[in-house]
Structure 1
């Protein structure tokens, strides 16, 4: 996990990120987690332009660290600048998509085969469940006719699965042309359902076809998601912009990425200031709203129960000749609850969100940077005292990006002592 924040006013955008990273591994059949406190999540995307980038979620893209992509893009970009911030995002993802030196075509095929390998386990579980078996291993003893019928049922169910909006039928066709032959060759020896059973060999082609469709249709559910935040200015932009993307990695040769319009923001002369947290956001949301989100949800849920009980008690106490039906009572209850929640949330906006936004638009840049750092520290403190983990911790990196001063580090960790490495900074210059 991680905690990051972007604070935008009409003057600048401040980015801040903690340094915790979580590494998971299996040991003696149990999931083991380790925490480290030196990860870089905040980067300068251009040496010339006022643009920064943060990542959260997965630290790598199909096993390649994001840091390699980001710094390689920065070097490749050189002194080139663009009119709109959006162009930096587009160029960055184009660079990632077509950089075969960092993630080669052979590596992309290996990633696809790993994806299909995981889907083969899920497909066999589907077939086993149709046969009411408790484990995949029991498929080896199942009659051939039962296997055929269960596979046909799985094919029909997979065919009826909706295709997510980020993937297409072309992705299924591409994956089939890339990997079907390899899978059909190794399936009789490596996939449990066939278990070197010669009488099932004629089912391999159907199994592989269903497997590829299942893997592609479920790709978004099992991909390692990375959030990518790009913030700053294009040459023609005088107010900062913030763009957020969900990157799911490579599906064959194609990079699957989508812009998150809900979290992306653009400032103008009349826009309120923005406090946008990412990843672990509990305490930052509490600061913004004046109430914890889980408390809001708990009150919202409990009010439903209370209103329903009150409706029943009122009807019983009044001795209603024609009591309301369950559906009529639920309709009235929902309308009352929505009205109550709207009034409550309006108070939150008027007493907390709007005043805070107005103040931030007037804050000097050092105070904006201090606020960003304090909110990450608050999130880290909450994690440290309430959970037996250190998923939000370590040094906090803070940068301010303004139109004319560019990308300026306020707090930045180094894995070395700066005073012992003057040549590092001379090279950077």
Structure 2
């Protein structure tokens, strides 16, 4: 994981990213490296940058390689397009690059998604078996497994069907993907589930995978891509971010997460803001007054205590809840409804108002910040998260050197702080090759 910050106002955008990269290991033993590159200059000519978070590769190709390949072949209309269109061009480049989208790599990714879904099903059924064995001791294991797996798959499909399809797969439906899924599942053979599946059960599983491909990005392999800077005709900076994971039916799987456009006007909404990516809890507490862990905990506390208190006191006082038609409502049911209502109002009214007020004050200040203050704030926000992680039981998923850059319309992309794996003083020939190419001169070894 990581923490990345973009602090943006009318003058420009300051970017900061830590260097920690977590590599999942066997047996739950993850490895953390503190030298990962996550911030890149996306064009040698235009003021545009790319930040990545989450998975550091796509179908086995590191994002660093993809970003630098794109930098060598910028869009032909780069001088005219907006930042949102820069993102579109980058994704088009990714989907059509002959060395990135390889059938074997796509197949491995699809197999991984199927295995993840099988693992989730297995875990869900194991929990249900333990409950049933405790309650009634059902003995017919084969029929029990068939029933539980079928129920679990059906419930999961019902959940996914109601989700909005990924925007990048707009126009695709379940039937478009099922032939590919049937082929993949068919090759698994009899090892699909811990019992002999029939045709109907395999078809339900294929529907589940098809819906998962159309709807869900909830995987470890998801990458956050952030492109920001100045479009060709933009006076003020913009930011566009997507979450991307995999490839299906010749199309990328991604969805937009942020689209920020700075507007003119000293005190208008949208003239300045700070946006955090990946691990956002620490920044949310600072910039929004609270984070999702507090909100979730408070919501659960309200539900549990309102429901429990009402049921306990009604029982103690021997009170009943009677409907207008004379029917009785159980105190536990009424307590549950009341707890849900109060928790919902707590989140929609109190928390929303609190966050709005905190964000408004910060954004008003950010809108007026000079460039140096934008830089300092971006770096400080990443540092705060890293320090908080060191003081907790976290495995060090935020840390290492902080790369910092500033993008303005006049100066373009400028590094403020940057780690590097070699010294410029020790590599004069590299520096000559690099800068002679930029200046159109020929180096002494014949390169231009």
TM tier, shorter chain?
Answer: 0.7 to 0.9
Other-structure match for 1:282: 281
Unaligned runs of 5+ in 2: 134-139, 323-328, 439-448
Other-structure match for 1:218: 212
- 1:236-263 Cα distance to aligned partner (Å, 9 max, x none): 2111111111112223532111111xx4
- Structure 1 residues 26-425: aligned runs within 5 Å: 26=26, 30-77=27-74, 80-81=77-78, 82-120=80-118, 160=158, 162-163=160-161, 164=163, 165-166=165-166, 170=172, 172-178=174-180, 180-181=182-183, 183-184=185-186, 187-188=189-190, 190-191=191-192, 193=194, 206-219=200-213, 220=216, 221-222=218-219, 224-260=221-257, 263-269=258-264, 270=268, 271-289=270-288, 294=293, 338=345, 342=349, 352-425=358-431
Unaligned runs of 5+ in 1: 135-140, 195-199
CA distance 1:420–1:107, change in 2 (3 Å): same
CA contact (8 A) 1:6 1:277 kept: yes
CA-CA distance at 1:230 after TM superposition:
1.1
Name the SS of the counterpart of 1:392 in structure 2: coil
Name the SS of the counterpart of 2:231 in structure 1: coil
How far apart are the structure 1 equivalents of 2:310 and 2:343?
Answer: 11
CA-CA distance at 1:356 after TM superposition:
3.0
CA contact (8 A) 2:10 2:237 kept: yes
87-96 or 353-362, larger mean C-alpha shift = 353-362
CA contact (8 A) 1:47 1:79 kept: no
Number of residues paired by the alignment?
A: 406
CA distance 1:19–1:33, change in 2 (3 Å): same
CA-CA distance at 1:419 after TM superposition:
1.8
CA-CA distance at 1:71 after TM superposition:
1.3
CA contact (8 A) 1:231 1:241 kept: yes
Name the SS of the counterpart of 1:415 in structure 2: coil
TM-score (norm 1): 0.77
CA contact (8 A) 1:111 1:252 kept: no
CA-CA distance at 1:212 after TM superposition:
2.5
CA contact (8 A) 2:295 2:347 kept: no
Name the SS of the counterpart of 2:246 in structure 1: strand
CA contact (8 A) 2:10 2:263 kept: yes
TM-score (norm 2): 0.74
- 1:102-151 Cα distance to aligned partner (Å, 9 max, x none): 231232233323433444555677888899899xxxxxx966x8888778
